[in-house]
Amino acid sequence: MNTLNKNWNEFFFPYNQASDELKVKLKGIRKEYQQKNKHSPIEFVTGRIKSVSSIQEKMKRRYIDEDRLEQDMEDICGIRIMTEFIDDIYDVVKLLRQRNDINIISERDYVNNEKSSGYRSYHIVLEYPVQLIKEEKIINVEIQIRTLAMNFWATLEHSLSYKHSDEFPPEIHEKLQKSAEQAYDLDISMSEIQKELNNHDNLE
């Protein structure tokens, strides 16, 4: 329900524009690697704009006033970058740090410092300028960078928690933590295989 007297279509316009532009730019990085016949640290990119109900729920939970919404809610526009390997995550972070069309304002490494749920991803909040007809509007964007295995776990865990509105019972919480570790073990073992193959190729 729209409890705020707000024109959401107008509000969301620059966020949709930013999401579309960033997706094109990030997919462009993948294309450039492919064109050079090189391994791309970016496997695929998705974007979403937070729903009105999710925005309203977070405003309540975080005591965010309507007039501070654009500044204080950093993930209204969310971009997700999926990678094949763990090392690719840090390569993507380096690529983002050197761009001059975005301004990184914070970084959180949940890859090496997993959340208590077992969640792993690298989060970056950045400012992105959108050129509107009469002005430039700087908006916040949250980019989550994660491997395919991390994405597999997070997608299923999110879907299970969505259907289960209460907190998970302790035994389920534990099982989910364990499955997150299994996903991470899979990432580690795929990275080892990749390194062994690279060494093998270099010897030939």
Total residues belonging to the chain: 204
Pick the binder of ligand 0O2 from 55, 56, 78, 122 (CB under 6 A): 78
Pick the binder of ligand 0O2 from 12, 13, 33, 119 (CB under 6 A): 119
Which residue stretch of 91-99, 116-124, 130-138, 195-203 sits at the interface with ligand 0O2 (rule: CB under 6 A)?
116-124
Pick the binder of ligand 0O2 from 6, 11, 16, 23 (CB under 6 A): 23
Instruction: Determine the Cα angle at 58 with ends 14 and 92, to 5°.
Output: 55
Minimal distance in Å, beta carbon 134 to ligand 0O2?
27
The verdict on 158 binding ligand 0O2 (CB under 6 A) reads: yes
Q: Which of 45, 35, 85 is nearest to 188 (CA)?
A: 85
Element (H, E) at 147: strand 136-147
The verdict on 154 binding ligand 0O2 (CB under 6 A) reads: yes
Q: Which of 25, 41, 54 is nearest to 158 (CA)?
A: 54
Minimal distance in Å, beta carbon 51 to ligand 0O2?
8
Q: What is the CB neighbour count within 10 angstroms for residue 155?
A: 11
**What distance in Å separates the CA atoms of residue 114 and residue 109, rounded to the nearest whole number?**
8
Which residue stretch of 2-10, 32-40, 113-121, 185-193 sits at the interface with ligand 0O2 (rule: CB under 6 A)?
113-121
Burial class (CB in 10 A: 0-12, 13-18, 19+), 82: buried
Residues that bind ligand 0O2 (CB under 6 A): 23, 43-44, 46-47, 50, 78, 108, 115, 117, 119, 123, 154, 157-158
